[in-house]
């Protein structure tokens, strides 16, 4: 963490480590997330992992907490187009905040 903090400071940025979602995203230019369960991971793990991470779901409410109307949403690749949560199918394709590889 010390190395990351020092590098961020050199570049004019900062790193915040918090469990407070509102504090963590306030003023953010980008929200980056990863999958909650990995491809090939045992399905028995899914319910537990989803329950643990549900509050950290990136959605329009979380993006609003940034206070930045230009915030961008990023996700690692590869991104599955067939196994996305229902909210992502409705929301992500039509929003200007989603940055995607084309």
Q: In this predicted structure, what is the pLDDT of residue 81?
A: 52
Q: Is 54 exposed, middle or buried (0-12, 13-18, 19+ CB in 10 A)?
A: exposed
The total number of residues written for the chain in this structure: 102
pTM (predicted TM-score): 0.68
For the chain, what are the domain ranges? 19-94
3-state secondary structure 59-90: CHHHHHHCCCCCCEEEECCCCCCCCCCHHHHH
For 14-18, 33-37, 91-95, which range has the lowest pLDDT when averaged over its residues?
A: 91-95
Backbone φ and ψ for 31, nearest 5 degrees, come out as -115, 120
Q: In this predicted structure, what is the pLDDT of residue 94?
A: 45
Q: Find the largest Cα–Cα distance for the chain.
A: 43
- Reported as a single tens digit per residue, the pLDDT across 30-88 is 998 888 888 788 888 888 988 998 898 888 899 999 999 999 988 776 655 555 555 45
CATH number corresponding to 19-94: 3.40.50.1370
């Amino acid at each position: 963490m010390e190395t990351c903090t020092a590098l961020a400071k050199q570049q004019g940025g900062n790193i915040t480590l918090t469990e407070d979602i509102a504090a963590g995203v306030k003023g953010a230019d980008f929200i980056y997330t990863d999958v909650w369960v990995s491809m090939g991971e045992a399905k028995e793990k899914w319910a537990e992992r989803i329950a643990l991470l549900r509050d950290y779901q990136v959605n329009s409410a979380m993006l609003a907490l940034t206070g930045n109307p230009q915030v961008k949403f990023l996700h690692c690749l590869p991104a599955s187009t067939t196994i996305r949560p229902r909210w992502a199918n409705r929301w992500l394709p039509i929003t200007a905040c989603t940055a995607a590889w084309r």
